[in-house]
Structure 1
């Protein structure tokens, strides 16, 4: 039995689909099928029932999954320990798109200054891709917007920021002190592609309340304010996301206080997260402690 066979089994167990699992593993479907079949032959019993729509784990697979998962996690911890012995441990940090713009400019550089011997690799991903980055060890820690899945643990709430409506200052809604959800009726929306969970929520609430609004387009954070300026479109964002942008022609208008109280989803929470079933090693723990202390001191 090889470690790779165990890793392939775990991926297929989670995805329940050979096509999806093979893509996540970056191998061919045929290669994955052969590996799992060889593992079944070696064990002497089936791990999956095959169907045209996917696979279904057998009772034996359910029993073995927790043991195989422990083996995979222990192997990952072993690799981290070896890296530390070799003194070439690279801390891999993932974050959602736009996270760096929502922080102080010295947020990560301050850590490097405090721990000059530490090496960091930082990358931004779509928020919904972050759990996969952590679970498959492409990242050690991550900054993620809520909601946080059960497979991850929030080790620190970094900040909580209310979502505002964003629009050209000449837009009628820009003249209001605050806005209620029904006032979005007949508005054309420009959505940020990095706020998928929020976008889903706001559109569902609009349907529930009978509010008819049209999604005109989605865009990235760099084009967002430029598109809103001079248009009749309305977008959603937090002020923190655009703290380094100078755009006086665009207005940020909050929702009514009662809306924030009624709908927690109108507030963006950013958490520092780690895999739920893996204990952070010394390098990751050092970073977690630094971030926690730094943000607590600011508060």
Structure 2
């Protein structure tokens, strides 16, 4: 059993397709099929069930896939540790969509100035997807918002930020001296889809204050929430970091009277993985970056 065969197994399992997997590993489909076939011969039983449009793991294949990932992860960690010089190397950082475009750019620029030889690889995805990638070792550091319920990851709060009420410029609340919860309890809300944790933060805050926001529209982009609010479709609660990047005169941002709604931005890592010096330095850089927020 060879390491390359294990890598081929993992790639085919991820893609559920020999053709796509072959393209990703730089082999012909026939060469990749032979590699997996030799592995199956050595085990004495099939790893994949060949179906019409995809391949699926057998019970033996699922067991082998788990062990293969462990072996490959250990090998990658050893290789990274041996080559670790503290100045270069990859940092695979990911963030949820309501954080990535607002918080990461300046953080990445300032880190690049300090460590120009480091290679920063950035991914944006939902919390659920990022947690899986951290657990599987595909991402070194993820940035999300509390609460984080997944086991086997380390969660470190970075900073807390206010969620601001956003209305269209012509909305009656835009000119009101102070806005309280009673003012928004019956208003239509524009929210992100349920896959986004910001919506959970908003709904949770409202429920804690004895009302449920009436969601009239949901979208997958925070920028679209802002545009719909500007068009008069409803109001919303937006992170302060997004407000800081909004230069449109069509929207007005207000703090709510009383204890404001907030979210806690956190760094998520896998404590069971080896973290290179450059990854640890990026984590420290994130801790310092919260001062700007």
TM-score by length of 1: 0.66
CA shift, 1:220, in A, is 3.6
In the alignment, which residue of structure 1 is the partner of 2:266? 271
- Report the CA distance shift for 1:120/1:95 in structure 2 as closer, same or farther (over 3 A): farther
- Report the CA distance shift for 1:214/1:154 in structure 2 as closer, same or farther (over 3 A): same
Worse overlay, 237-246 or 144-153:
144-153
- Report the CA distance shift for 1:223/1:46 in structure 2 as closer, same or farther (over 3 A): closer
In the alignment, which residue of structure 2 is the partner of 1:243? 244
1:111 aligns with 2:106: no
Worse overlay, 241-250 or 83-92:
83-92
The 1-side partners of 2:86 and 2:214 are apart by: 60
CA shift, 1:73, in A, is 0.6
1:177 aligns with 2:173: no
**Equivalences for residues 1-299 of structure 1 within 5 A:** 1-7=1-7, 9-10=9-10, 18=16, 38-45=38-45, 55=56, 58=59, 64=64, 67-81=67-81, 83-84=83-84, 88-97=88-97, 99=99, 102-103=102-103, 107-113=107-113, 115-128=114-127, 129-131=129-131, 133-134=133-134, 139-148=139-148, 150=150, 153-154=153-154, 156-174=156-174, 175=176, 177-179=179-181, 183-184=185-186, 187=188, 189-192=189-192, 196-199=196-199, 212-215=214-217, 218=219, 220-222=221-223, 224-247=225-248, 249-253=250-254, 267-292=262-287, 294=288
The 2-side partners of 1:108 and 1:219 are apart by: 24
1:100-130 CA distances to partner (integer Å, 9 max, x unpaired)?
55449853444344x3454242535123443
1:140-194 CA distances to partner (integer Å, 9 max, x unpaired)?
3232334446376335312223434321143245546232698246x2x433479
Q: How many residues align structurally?
A: 282
The 2-side partners of 1:181 and 1:43 are apart by: 67
TM-score by length of 2: 0.67
- Report the CA distance shift for 1:219/1:157 in structure 2 as closer, same or farther (over 3 A): same
CA shift, 1:99, in A, is 3.0
The 2-side partners of 1:139 and 1:104 are apart by: 15
Question: Are the equivalent residues in 2 in contact too, given 1:190–1:233 (CA < 8 A)?
Answer: yes
1:28-68 CA distances to partner (integer Å, 9 max, x unpaired)?
9x87887655433312245578899985763x566655543
The 1-side partners of 2:121 and 2:63 are apart by: 37
What stretches of structure 2 of length at least 5 have no aligned partner? none
CA shift, 1:84, in A, is 3.6
CA shift, 1:285, in A, is 1.4
Q: CA RMSD in A?
A: 4.9
What stretches of structure 1 of length at least 5 have no aligned partner? 261-265
- Report the CA distance shift for 1:134/1:170 in structure 2 as closer, same or farther (over 3 A): same
